[in-house]
Structure 1
Amino acid sequence: MAEIYLLAFCLQLAVAPVLYLVDRPLLGGLNLLCLAGYVVALVLHRRLFVATALTIKLSTFLIFVIIGIAITADSSSLIYYLLFAEVELMLADLRRRTKILVTGCLIALSFGVLRLPPLYGTDARLSTVDMLLSDLGLGLVFVMLCVVILRMLTITDRHEHRYRSDAMHDSLTRVLNRRAIFERASAYWKRGRGFAIVLVDADRFKEINDNYGHTAGDAVLRHLAGLLRDSLRGDDSVGRVGGEEFLILLPGAGKTEGVAAATRIRDRLSRHPCQLDDLVLPVTLSMGIARSREGEQLRDVIDLADRRLYAAKSAGRNQVVADGHAESAASSNAERLTLGAERAFEADDV
């Protein structure tokens, strides 16, 4: 709304000298009244007196419009000015009842003004000057409506993009969340596109929380998420699927590319350890890798990657396992991951 007030002020300020040049001092004076009203409305709006600000702004605007119509005897243009006033009203942060009540008042005002005779001493016929002023006023209203609509579309698109981004990303690490990464893997699977999955787990993460606090734990997760993201190719994806667990999706990759990605991640972590102020936090990563061709269904591939991750941790942590364990019994952690994947697949099917 503040932008609308500023736009209206600038446009009517530009019109002010025109009204005096064409010998319409009454309209010029009313125009100055409008400008003062807009300034007061803008100040009140910035101080959160929204209803009062809108009342002052619309009142001065409508007084100017009604008297201008009475002077020029051009009541046919009233509906366009009232339309802009209605747009301002609908955009204001007011209660619905208030908007409905004021809309009714605007409708009643339109019927009343349309039946008013011209002011005494004015010609019922439009002069050339009055026709030009009427056209100028309608043109400015049209410009303001276009600007307001374009501005609202921009704001709507921006908010929609932000809400979609928030719905797909983990709030702490800003990588994809559990549902989004599983849905992306499901889309690759349905299209028959080969890929590799790397499950990553931060070793002894609970000890970091216990010894250094949850602030340090959050810093570790953010650091790891950024490190994983920076270590991947342009079309790779990473998502957080558990407390300290991440899933990396490598489209078109096999075992060699998967191991290479895991190696890049470990090398980068060794060069850029996680720090909290001057404290270096001891974090290593265990990883399990599986390829899409190693399972009959996607959940089988995720389950296999998780069993290999479990094997890496059992082997002493800070390991990468990309072979074997295809026939091992699923761990409880694998069951939890698979359940999350199944829910994502079911929602995607719906």
Structure 2
Amino acid sequence: MNDQKLTATIDRILLPDREAIEAAERHLNNLTKPPGSLGKLEDIARQAAGITGELTPDLSTRAVIVMAGDHGVCEEGVSAFPSEVTPQMVYNFLSGGAAVNVLARQANADVFCVDVGVNADLSHSKLLGRKVRYGTANMTRESAMKKEEAVAAIIAGIDTVEELYNQGYRMFATGEMGIGNTTASAALCAVLANMPIEEAVGLGTGIDEARRQHKINVVNRAIDRNRPDSADAIDTLAKVGGLEIAGLVGVILGAAALRCPVIVDGFISSAAALVASKITPRSVPYMLGSHLSHEQGHGQLLQAVGLSPIIHMDMRLGEGTGAVLCFHFVDAALLIMREMATFESAGVSQG
């Protein structure tokens, strides 16, 4: 059943609307400015038109989807924080006290936290409970999860987007919480982007160089133990990935199938974007790369997906914080399309 839904979702992802992109280009070139002078804002305007098929889509109702899951590889001492922080931070999201909540309020966005794999029993009226299992296994000893569990977590993301779409949400941002998830993301980069492990592994939540070298060794051991198939993104995701990463893969695919923009956050979210791009390259035009994380390897990862970051703020928090900031740039691009005068309406001579 899950396999059928995943296939059906992938089949619904269409190429962007070329006529809408061309119409946006004509409109941008008729505004009172030199062609292309608003740079990435013009790129965003064209992309939004291609995604939605509308010249000036209404994307004012938007959601940040924070997927949460734990990682068995934390047993190897790869993080500066203990695994208990994952459920503690989930409650922080739900009470509105995390950085992503603050920035989402500024951007008039709603935050939804999804338990797809937290290693604890959570209860809260605002929590979206879609738990597939209680955290992944230690990937240095066995596969992080079964392939059917990875697919189930992807479906959890698709279901979440569809549910929110039916409530009127039309733009999404990816967020995550899971102690140890930079380790899993680095492993995905190494396998699916053919990135040297030494370049893929960064300092995560703030470990020192000695711990980073240990983390490199852990990722090596996990890949050697599981031998993920680089030609099979879901096999790789199951063997060395994470449940919340899989959930974000579903968010991206689900948004693309519904012709909604999805703003990709930092290193972990970009690892999910990499997996989604390998499942179907047609998903990439629906993604916007938000920022260049301070995490080592993120630039190479974005290039592997085919994304260009909108901002560079030296951030490395995750949660969806960088993605939420970029809601403002999408708003700016659409306001330019709606409100800026044309040469004809302003009575300005066109060069």
TM-score, length-scaled by structure 2: 0.23
The structure whose Rg is larger is 1
More helix by share: 1
Q: Which has the higher contact order (CA 8 A, sep 6+)?
A: 2
